[in-house]
Each structure stands twice: as structure tokens, then as C-alpha cells.
Chains A and B, each alone.
Chain A
Amino acid sequence: MRVLMKIKRFNPERDRAPYWAEYEVEVEPVDRVLDALEYVKWHLDGTLTFRRSCAHGICGSDAMLINGRNRLACKVLVKDLGSPITVEPLRGFPVVKDLVVDMEGFFAKYRAVKPYLINDELPPETERRQSPEERARFDDTTKCILCGACTTACPSFWANGAYIGPAAIVNAHRFIFDSRDRGAAERLAILNTRLGVWRCRTIFNCVEACPRGIDVTRAIAEVKRALLFSGT
């Protein structure tokens, strides 16, 4: 099938402002949007620039705005979108070139929540025990691939780029509710600020955007509740 790709492009070495470019591509209905982008790059215009790696929704490289929604280009099929397909870079991050955005700020916020197990007790020689129920408590938030789809879909983040954002909160949640972790108080203190968890207005865009099906708003709500009951 033939599909019209409308791609928002910007090359700082050449362009003063972003512009829309259009490409007719020949694709199979079961092709991914990533396949269509690669068709453009490989057969029509080698300067088109985007990130991609695993091409099946695990590495998190190719989150972008597709037909107005944040998705991974490798996880949405052309047949489910029809024609035209519009593709833009994620909103709210500086554009490096075409669909490539600068993720440094995003990762800095991830690092800010201390996303590693905090526990200074001497571990046993074998594994620490954890019941299946304790393990299930934080299962959902272990799925995060740090693609940035949730944070850049969040109106609170658009309004204030200093907001720590749903992705960082999800990763804090992953440790706060891990029975082996002892760092909950430190992390909750980091999130208990004006630019922390309270900036979430429960708009649910993040849930819709998450390509891993994480119930992001619920995770944020659980962190808020932990704060209310922790007395910090």
C-alpha cells in the first residue's frame, strides 16, 4: 500500500525553522511506522534522522509523536494508521535534528530519584528472600524502558519543563515499593516538592502514552499516598 508520510524536519546546520516534508512510501500493511521511516531514509532521503535500535519495543530509542500521539515507531503498524501519517519529535525536549531530541535533561531527572537499590545491610550468601506478593507489588513499574513517551505527553511537563515528570516518578516507585529497599524516605523527600510529585494533575496522558502498558498515573498516586501517610 502507498502511504503519505508527513515528517517534521529540522537540521540546525541548514534550516532556520522546522518544516514539514512529505514522502510517498510503498509499504506492506503489516509494516511498522519505523519501516516507513527507514524506507524514506534508505530510498528517498538519506538525510532523514531518527534513533532506532531493537525495532520491537524494548530498547526505547524511537519514541516520537505519531499522528498526534506519543508512540514507539516500531510498535505501531502502518495499517492501523492509514494515510497520511504525521511524525514529529517528542514535545518539550530540545530538537537535535529531525526526530532526534536531546534526552540529557530527562536522564538527569531519572538519576535524581536515586534509581538504585538502597540497602546497606550485609546481604546473605544467597539471595535475599522476597515473597511473590512482595515482588508483585512493584512489578508494573519495573517494565519502564525510559523512552520518554510519558513525560513528553504530560501537560504539567509542557507547562513547566522543570517538573520531574512521570518517568522519574515511575522509577522512584519501582524502588519505594520494593521490600528489599531502605531508601524510600530519601526518595520521597526528593519527590515531595513543588516540582515533584504534586505537580501531577492526574490527567492520564502518561498512561495512554506508555508503550509498555504501565499504569503510570496509578504509580504516581501510590507515591502521593505514601507521602501523605509517611508524615514527611
Chain B
Amino acid sequence: MTTVHRYDAVIVGAGGAGLRAALEVAQATPRVAVVSKLYPIRSHTGTAQGGIGAALGNMEEDHWEWHMFDTVKGSDYLADQDAVEIMCQEAITCVYELEHWGLPFDRTPEGKIAQRRFGGHTRNFGEAPVRRACHAADRTGHMILQTLYQQCIKHEVQFFNEFHVLDLLLEDNICRGIVALSLADGELHVFHAKAVLFATGGFGRMYKVTSNARSLTGDGVAIALRRGIPLEDMEFFQFHPTGIYKLGILISEAARGEGGILRNRQGERFMERYAPTLLDLAPRDIISRCMYMEIREGRGIEGKDYLHLDLTHLGREVIEKKLPDITDFARTYLGIDPVREPIPVQPTAHYAMGGIPTDVRGRVIRDEKNTPVLGFYAAGECACVSVHGANRLGTNSLVDILVFGKLAGRHMAEYIRGADFAPLPKEADGPAREECERLLTSNGAESVARLRETLQREMMDKAAVFRTQEGLETMLATLKELKDRYRRIRLQDKGKIFNTDLQEALELGYLLDLAEVTVVSALARRESRGAHYREDFPKRDDAQWLKHTLAYRINGEYELRYKPVVITRFQPVERKY
């Protein structure tokens, strides 16, 4: 039996964006529910390490305009500057808000919030690194997630834990709610709502080496695509330079913010050759590419596909006090003490710049004219405002979830006041029920795990840091084949109670769709910009390509449209660091 719930607002995802939005909506109505496939505080926001960028100027002079410039330049000029301006201004308020809610930031001797350097963040429009990242050791995300959840408890926000979203109820451009699967008992639940926010996070699990949690399978993004919403700028996927070799576990940029250095097999600080001003604190897209170039030229450690992150000169005190978690990771997973030995690192799939297109109020938009979908919102990594353009700066994902979680929540609260419950579609849970039934009864010979392994390996090889027409075309053919095989899977668990076999199959379906949009969008973009690097088109081409991709799926085929970039203060120039 399907249970039907009624809430003014339903928020899908209990990471930073979802919780921040919930807090904002809760001020206007008590009828708000957070639906998450994880328990609260398990969400991936908790793994963010180094800091949240805000021009507080606590340690040295800083201005939000400088933060804005860095973000725009870091984005390779693809970010929408009106949105970036709002984000960098609001970042300051949002950080103070967190402090007032009790977030235990590290402190300066005067008792202010402590700040550190981070990649791409500079003073006076690119002169030198600036201390902008507000931090709590190297567990800033953990503290943010905990603080937001604590406030949700205080404000008695209602949670549906371990509910996996399956469908978005959308008809005649009006959102009416969602359908979710309760993992505990396998029952479907319809959430009838005036407004829905997707804050479902990223989809790094489409790649083999990734910093992303097992749960980051792009559920909300894929569901939006299937319901006719276009996806914006999906060709831009960030690879973070310092993942632990083979495991992909993140070693925060804060390690380089505190003075860590990348070295090749000769012990050379190779970033001196590529980014003479910012060196190891150049933006992530650039450093990841440089690392691969070093590896290609045989200067990887032992000639293999990794390099060294050297912290040994920082001393035990700095390493253990300021970077305790990553020190623990190196010791636990590699048996290496970063106080004495360098850490083996390689680029790791980290962050989707693209996603569900929204305006600055978090409203999902459905075309290049920015027409909003009524009652449907998105925020955080699943969304594309776009503040990150072609490459996100470190710390800005935390800024994004707070600022746009808050603004989306604020607009939802306003919208709810003036809107009625639009009627539910007939048999609202029908498509979700059919999808689950199909997966549970599919009787082929294919295994979800094997298909996923192939997907991850091939995406890593053909659609990661370096891309070519040939590689992407091969990948597209591979995806067609994988999707065909996906129709012939067989699950071993056919039960109702906590069926993670079914859940993994659903998640693979999302990943296959999103990998396809990524490749289709990447094939079309015949230039190199930010994280999207085409070896066959190595230059940025503003005349042709200073525009956002909008990828639609219509009857299984993709249609690409484009929309202009909003440029206000900073004209595109060549990016040098």
C-alpha cells in the first residue's frame, strides 16, 4: 500500500543545501519534511575538509569583490556573474550565521574565525594567495553538517530517514510532489507538496577513482532529466588533484594551503613551471592537468600514475593540529606518516559543476529563456546556478550549499504562502512502482556490479581529465551497450526489507543516464575550458563557446541547446596563474 503524505514543502537530501533550505522554510511553515536516503549527518557535506570561503578579512585585508573575481576567473569565465556576486556577498552573512548557531570554527588569538589559504583565492585580483577559507581543522564540512542538523532538531524539522527518491511528480509545468521508497520496509510513499527542493548531491560514482561517497549517484539529477528538465553544463566535471593513490580519498587542498608541495619523481616542485605565481595553489583543473602531463612524460613516482604531496617540511605541530583527519587517513590507509614521508596522490573525480539549471532563487528553469518550473527547486551540487562555471574553486561548494540553500528556502517559503496544492497525477506512484517491479523481476544474466565496474573504468579512461572526439565516441557506444545490458540484469535480493540490491540497481540506472549526458555534452563542446579539456581542441574559444549547454532528453534522444553567460563586471581574458 502506498502511503500519501502532505507537506507544504518537501526537501530531498539532508546534506548542507537541503538542511539549510529546511531551516529557512521552517521559519515560515512547520509543514516541511526532509527526505533522505541516508541517516541525517551521513551526507557527503560531512566529508568536506579544508574550509568555507568568505571575505571576512579576519587575518588580512579581503573583499567580496576579490572573492568574486577569483570565482569568475577560476570558472574560466563560464560562471554567471550575477549569481557569483550574490554568492560572494552572502557568503559572509552565511558564515556568521553558522557561528551564531554554534559552529566551532578555529579561532585567531583575538577570538575571531580563523582563515587559511586555498587554491585560486587571491588578494587584489590575482596578486597572491589570501587567507579566506574559514575552517575548523580539516573537518569543516563535518562541523557544518552537524551544526545544521542540530538546528533542524531545535526547530523540530521532520525527517524521513532512509527514504530513496524514485520520482518527481511534475505535470503542466507545476511540481506536485515526489515518490520515495522506504528502505526499511520496501513500501512506496507519495509526498504531496506545494514545493519540492532537490538537494541530492553529485554523481562522482560514474568514475573509477573518486572522492565521492558510495551514495553519490546523481539520483535527483537523473530523475529531473527523465521528467523533461534539461541538464546544464554536464561536460564539466572536476578532478581534485590530491586523491590518495588508488583509493581516491580526498587529501584536502588545505594541505597545500598550509604550505604542502606537489613533487614529481625527481623531487621537483613541478608547478613552478606551470603556474609561477600561485604554484601549488593554482585552481584544481590546472593542477590536475599538470599532474597528468608529468605522468605522461614519465615523471610520475617510479614512472607510475601518481605523484607526491610533500608535507614533511611543515613539521609535526602544523600537520597534526591543522590537518588531523588527513594525517589519520594517510596513516590508516597507506601506513604512511605525513610528518616524515610524502603522500602518494593522483587526481580524483570530485565535483560536478553541471546539474539541474536554476536561477538565483533556486527555482529550476526549463529552457534557455530561464522559464521557471512552478514549485520545483534545486540547490547544492545537484544544481547549476551557475556559480562554478567550468571549474569550481576550493571552498566554494560549501559557500554554494549555504547561500543557495538559504535563498531557495526563502523563495519556497514565499511561494508556499501564495500557492495551493496542485492535484496529484492519477496513479502518482505508478511509474516508480513499475520501475522497481521491472528491476526485481528482470531475469537476465547481467550483474549490476559488473556493469558499474565497466562504466567507472571506461569513464575514467575516456571522459575524465583529457578527452578526444574518438574517445568520447567510443564511450558513447559503450554506454549504449551498457544500457542495453542493464535491461537484462538479475537481482539476487527480491525482498522488501532493506533491499540494497534493488537500491544499487536504481542508482546504476541514474549513473548510466548521467554519464551519457556528460559524454554527449562533452562531444559537442569543441573547445577546452576549465575542467573540460579536449586534446583535439586545446584552446578556449569564446567566440563559439562562451555559453552554457542545456541537454534535453526527448524520447531517448538528446537535444542540445545553449544559453548565454551572464557577464557583469569581469570580461573574459586569458587565464594565467
Contact = CB atoms under 8 A, between A and B. Distances in A.
A53 B111 contact: no
B535 interface: no
A54 B104 contact: no
Interface in B78-111: 96, 99-102, 104-111
A18 B56 CA distance: 56
B478 interface: no
A135 B104 contact: yes
Contacts of B214: 52-55
A49 interface: yes
B456 interface: no
Given A116-B151, A127-B113, A132-B109, A142 B42 contact: no
Interface string A46-59: 11011011111111
Contacts of B154: 114, 116
B501 interface: yes
A119 to B, nearest CB: 8
A145 interface: yes
Interface stretch (A84-92, A96-104, A153-161, A201-209): A96-104
B44 A129 contact: no
Contacts of B499: 49
Interface stretch (B135-143, B169-177, B288-296): B135-143
B495 A47 contact: yes
B153 interface: yes
Contact of B150 (A103, A115, A129, A134): A115
B99 A60 contact: no
Contact of B110 (A52, A97, A107, A129): A129
A53 B332 contact: no
Contacts of A115: 150, 153
Contact of B107 (A75, A130, A143): A130
A75 B332 contact: yes
Contacts of B242: none
Interface stretch (A1-9, A175-183, A189-197, A224-232): A175-183
Interface string A106-129: 010001001111010001011111
A56 B38 contact: no
A45 interface: yes
Contact of A58 (B46, B108, B491): B46
Name the residue in A46, A47, A60 with the highest tally of chain B Cβ atoms < 10 Å from its Cβ.
A46
Contacts of B142: 58, 143, 145
Given A42-B449, A61-B42, A178 B102 contact: yes
Contact of B136 (A42, A100, A142): A142
A178 B497 contact: no
B102 A175 contact: yes
B449 A53 contact: no
Interface in A19-34: 30, 32
Nearest to B114: A132
Residue among A114, A138, A142, A180 having the largest count of chain B Cβ atoms under 10 Å = A142
Contacts of A68: none
Interface of A: 11-14, 30, 32, 41-43, 45-47, 49-50, 52-61, 75, 77, 96-97, 100, 103, 107, 111, 114-117, 119, 123, 125-132, 134-135, 138-139, 142-143, 145-146, 175, 178, 180-181, 213
Given A117-B101, A132-B106, 17 more contacts: A11-B495, A41-B449, A46-B448, A46-B491, A49-B493, A54-B47, A58-B47, A96-B184, A97-B497, A103-B39, A115-B150, A127-B100, A128-B99, A131-B107, A143-B139, A143-B142, A181-B102
The 9 closest A-B CB pairs, nearest first, are: A117-B102, A46-B492, A42-B449, A129-B111, A116-B150, A47-B493, A116-B154, A123-B100, A54-B213
